[in-house]
Amino acid sequence: MKTSITRLLAGLALAGGANALLAAGAPAAAEPLAPAQVRLQVSAEAAGPVIEPTVYGHFAEHLGTGIYGGLWVGTGSTIPHTRGWRNDVIQALKRIGVPVVRWPGGCFADDYDWRDGIGPRSQRPVRLNKFWGMVPEPNEVGTHEFMDLVEQLGAEAYLAGNMGSMTPRALSQWLEYMTSDSRSSLAEERRRNGRDKPWKVKYLGIGNESWGCGGHMRPEYQADLHRQYVTWLHTPVVRVASGDGEGRDEVIDTLMARAGQDMDAITLHYYTVPGPSWEHKGSALGFTPEYWARALRGAMGIEARIEATRRIMDRHDPAGRVALYVDEWGTWHDPEPGSTPGFLQQQNSLRDALVAALTFNVFHRHTTRVKMANVAQMVNVLQALVLTDGPRMLLTPTYHAFDLYQPFKGATPLKLQLQTPRWGEIGKESGQDLPAVDASVARATDGRVWLALVNLDPQRPARVTANLAGPAEGRLLTAAAMDAHNSFSQPHALEPSRFEAPAASGGMVLELPPKSIVVVRVGEPG
Ligand code: AHR
């Protein structure tokens, strides 16, 4: 985990040049800046296969308060819940539609024994959570509880199987326990534990970060193990191989060469760390424009990783059978001051929302391979969509980015050409080469065309002229401060507002405020 981030940062060639005068939230320049002039040419032709709804997927690990407190409050809690899962959080997540949840880790998964999480809750063993603070893991949430969570959310289950510290037999028995309709002892044990009907488990991860916390394996060894572990999976399931997270092409190359026939998907992990090192990742709030730029540059860097991975996959699998799952992505900042070490709690600002929007746009450009992605993580951990504090809950700017992009689920991306200047002084000073604007256009499942625009520049507005029939109607997410966020004292400080652009002869004109995301329904390309 640590090495992966350090190596990725090294690859980004980040430059210095902080602009100390312009701290987050500093007043904008007195004279309004002239807008950046951007031209967008959209074609009615599809740019690729549909945007799988599962690229808007989630990840919930036994880490900090990601599960306990954030999602699960237990059946004895005074916080309103349904069979232990808190109603406020579940309702908020249902509003944005959760297609898939990956669980129980992360690094936690390769130290997880599924047998610890079945049977009467009062009799389950307490283990130590070795990766995340050595805190006691009560195993109150296990297989039955997690499958109840995904049923409440209407999501698919993506189970991360333990290849690091358990046997192939244990993995195949877990799958049998969950999915068998037979009279086998494992299926009967599930029935005794309260679940008669088998569950549907669509996705199964074979290990996590095998290069690191999943066992420190060489890819050659991992490829052999992967083949061994999938041998006894006699239930139809999407077999997901742990791939790369350190920017090492040779890992994907070796796994595809040696085990490509025995997997249905391979993973990429990609974290956006604004700071220069693991020790100095940068704070979630109160950052300078340089750190704004570094974060957005880092987020856009996922495109180069996906392209490099896709090229390797194309060589080994020209038919495109094996999918690429970016099953961990998001921002990783310094922990919230005063929070428990190892809990990875961080605030979430407008900057995180732009990271999410830029990442979605990249996924839309790579639909031939990218069929799933899982934000790290769902609640209270890293780039969370929801933060909780006891009975209180708030929705983060990242939640609103997921909400704005809902029309893109299942939509068909359209070809586009974007002529945009690179952005302003801060971009130049900090050595970050960034476009002023990024865009994605797609035809939704109902046939309507949707346009997403991101103005990356924190100071300059943008005027986008597009060959699209108007009017445009949708929503905008922006704020005066780069680190605008929601807090428990002001939980609604940053929310989307209505955005419209009238129909005009000679093309639609959209006026984007600085540092903004706009998602609008538009007319046909002309
Ligand atoms: O999401 C936090 C951690 O990041 C995961 O447990 C691990 O897989 C990755 O390094």
Interval 328-387: pLDDT, tens:
999 999 999 999 989 999 999 999 999 999 999 999 999 999 999 999 999 999 999 999
Q: What mean pLDDT is predicted for residues 435-447?
A: 97
The two structure tokens encoding residue 324: 């690429």
Q: Cα(163) to centroid of ligand 1, in Å?
A: 16
Say whether both 419 and 457 belong to one domain. yes
Q: Would you state the pLDDT for residue 4?
A: 39
70 Cβ neighbours under 8 A, 6+ residues apart: 89, 378, 379, 380, 381, 386, 388
Q: What mean pLDDT is predicted for residues 386-397?
A: 98
Say whether both 39 and 136 belong to one domain. no
Q: Would you state the pLDDT for residue 95?
A: 98
Domain count along the chain: 2
Q: Cα(238) to centroid of ligand 1, in Å?
A: 21
Q: Would you state the pLDDT for residue 20?
A: 28
Does position 171 have pLDDT exceeding 80, yes or no?
A: yes
Q: Where are the beta strands (DSSP E) in 316-405?
A: 323-331, 370-376, 386-389, 392-395
Say whether both 223 and 86 belong to one domain. yes
209 lines ligand 1 (CB under 6 A): yes
Say whether both 406 and 453 belong to one domain. no
Say whether both 178 and 93 belong to one domain. yes
Flag whether 241 is in a domain.
yes
Give how far the C-alpha of residue 47 lies from the chain's centroid of Cα atoms, to the nearest Å: 23
Q: Is 209 left (phi over 0), alpha (psi -120 to 50) or beta?
A: left
164 lines ligand 1 (CB under 6 A): no
At 23-54, the pLDDT tens digits run: 344 444 457 889 999 999 999 999 999 999 99
Flag whether 443 is in a domain.
yes
CA 68 vs CA 27, 91, 135, 142, 390: distances in Å: 40, 17, 12, 12, 11
Q: What mean pLDDT is predicted for residues 249-267?
A: 98
Say whether both 474 and 503 belong to one domain. yes
Say whether both 127 and 219 belong to one domain. yes
Report H helices in 460-512.
Answer: none
Does position 15 have pLDDT exceeding 70, yes or no?
A: no
106 lines ligand 1 (CB under 6 A): yes
At 468-507, the pLDDT tens digits run: 998 999 999 999 999 999 999 999 999 999 999 998 888 8
Q: Would you state the pLDDT for residue 423?
A: 79
pLDDT band at 7 (very low <50, low <70, confident <90, very high): very low
DSSP 3-state of 472: strand
DSSP 3-state of 237: coil
Flag whether 114 is in a domain.
yes
Q: Where are the beta strands (DSSP E) in 89-231?
A: 100-103, 127-129, 135-137, 156-161, 203-206
* Amino acid letter for position 338: G
Catalytic residue annotation: 209, 328
Does position 18 have pLDDT exceeding 70, yes or no?
A: no
The two structure tokens encoding residue 232: 């006894």
Phi/psi for 285 (5° steps) reads -130, 165
Q: What mean pLDDT is predicted for residues 390-398?
A: 98
Flag whether 313 is in a domain.
no
Q: What percent of the chain has pLDDT over 90?
A: 89
Give how far the C-alpha of residue 114 lies from the chain's centroid of Cα atoms, to the nearest Å: 25
The best mutation among 3, 58, 269, 331 to test binding of ligand 1, ranked by most ligand atoms within 8 Å of the C-beta, falls on 269
The best mutation among 6, 213, 333 to test binding of ligand 1, ranked by most ligand atoms within 8 Å of the C-beta, falls on 213
- Give the end of a domain, one of 395, 411, 427: 411
Please give the residue that has the higher pLDDT: either 15 or 483. Answer: 483
427 lines ligand 1 (CB under 6 A): no
- CATH number of the domain bearing residue 168: 3.20.20.80
Say whether both 244 and 163 belong to one domain. yes
Flag whether 18 is in a domain.
no
Q: Would you state the pLDDT for residue 341?
A: 80
Flag whether 22 is in a domain.
no
Q: Would you state the pLDDT for residue 430?
A: 67
- Give the end of a domain, one of 411, 426, 450: 411
22 lines ligand 1 (CB under 6 A): no
Flag whether 494 is in a domain.
yes
pLDDT band at 426 (very low <50, low <70, confident <90, very high): low
Does position 11 have pLDDT exceeding 60, yes or no?
A: no
- Could you give the dihedral angle defined by the CA atoms of residues 100, 409, 298 and 255, in that order, rounded to the nearest 10 degrees? 50
Q: How far apart are CA 246 and CA 207, in angstroms?
A: 16
At 199-212, the pLDDT tens digits run: 999 999 999 999 99
Say whether both 371 and 381 belong to one domain. yes
Atom of ligand 1 nearest to the CA of 131: 6
- Could you give the dihedral angle defined by the CA atoms of residues 437, 442, 444 and 445, in that order, rounded to the nearest 10 degrees? -150
What is the DSSP code (8-state) at residue 182? S
- CATH number of the domain bearing residue 451: 2.60.40.1180
343 Cβ neighbours under 8 A, 6+ residues apart: 63, 64, 65, 132, 133, 335, 380, 381
Other CB atoms within 10 Å distance of the CB of residue 127: 15
Atom of ligand 1 nearest to the CA of 1: 10
DSSP 3-state of 46: strand
Say whether both 39 and 88 belong to one domain. no
At 400-415, the pLDDT tens digits run: 999 999 999 999 999 9
Say whether both 338 and 259 belong to one domain. yes
Q: What mean pLDDT is predicted for residues 297-309?
A: 97
Say whether both 67 and 196 belong to one domain. yes
Q: How far apart are CA 447 and CA 135, in angstroms?
A: 50
107 lines ligand 1 (CB under 6 A): yes
**Token match 């993995």: residue?**
171
Domain limits at 471? 35-48+413-522
Flag whether 485 is in a domain.
yes
**Residue 62: exposure state from Cβ atoms within 10 A (0-12, 13-18, ≥19):** buried
